[in-house]
């Protein structure tokens, strides 16, 4: 299943797995990325909820941005290599 998802999200993962940055990876970086992605998805859900509650469709733009950041964070955290995780944090 992981190989299928990795192939499906390869365009996103390739953005973070390329480059010449030295790899400075710790397992806590991946854990924190999972937490960060979950928080952004919850924030997107709250923005959608209050957007519909107040009938303000302008709240969907930040909700879309928060959801995109959350999904990308979770994709890299669960499917990305150690280099991808270190590149998303830009550790030097």
Give pLDDT tens digits for 66-85.
999 999 999 999 998 888 88
Residues in the chain: 92
Is the C-alpha dihedral spanning 46, 42, 67, 87 positive or negative?
A: positive
DSSP string, 5-50: HHHHTHHHHHHHH-S-PPP---HHHHHHHHHHHHHHHHHHHHHHHH
pLDDT in tens, 10-55: 888 888 888 766 567 788 889 999 999 999 999 999 999 999 899 8
């Amino acid at each position: 299943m992981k190989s299928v998802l990795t192939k499906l999200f390869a365009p996103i993962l390739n953005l973070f797995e390329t480059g010449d940055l030295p790899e400075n990876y710790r397992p806590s970086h991946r854990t924190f990325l999972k937490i960060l992605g979950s928080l952004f998805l919850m924030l997107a859900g709250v923005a959608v909820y209050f957007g519909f509650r107040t009938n303000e469709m302008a709240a969907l733009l930040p909700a879309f941005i928060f959801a995109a950041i959350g999904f990308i964070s979770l994709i890299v955290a669960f499917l990305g290599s150690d280099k991808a995780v270190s590149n998303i944090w830009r550790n030097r």
